[in-house]
Amino acid sequence: MTHDEFNAFCGKLPAAHHVVQWGGSHVWKVGDKVFAIGAGGNGAPAYSFKVSPLAFEMLRERPGLRPAPYLASRGLSWIQHFGSPGLSDDELRDYLRESHCLVASGLTGKKRLELKLDALGFTARKRR
Domains contained in the chain, CATH given:
3-120 (3.90.1150.30)
pLDDT at 128: 37
- Read off the amino acid at residue 78: W
pTM: 0.89
pLDDT digits (tens, 9 = 90+) for 55-68: 999 999 999 999 99
CB atoms within 10 A of CB 68: 26
* Residue 127, pLDDT above cutoff 90: no
pLDDT digits (tens, 9 = 90+) for 9-31: 999 999 999 999 888 889 999 99
pLDDT digits (tens, 9 = 90+) for 59-110: 999 999 999 988 877 888 999 999 889 999 999 999 999 999 999 999 988 9
- Is the distance from CB of 91 to CB of 7 less than 8 angstroms? no
* Residue 52, pLDDT above cutoff 50: yes
pLDDT at 11: 96
Q: Distance (Å, rounded) from C-alpha 35 to C-alpha 49?
A: 6
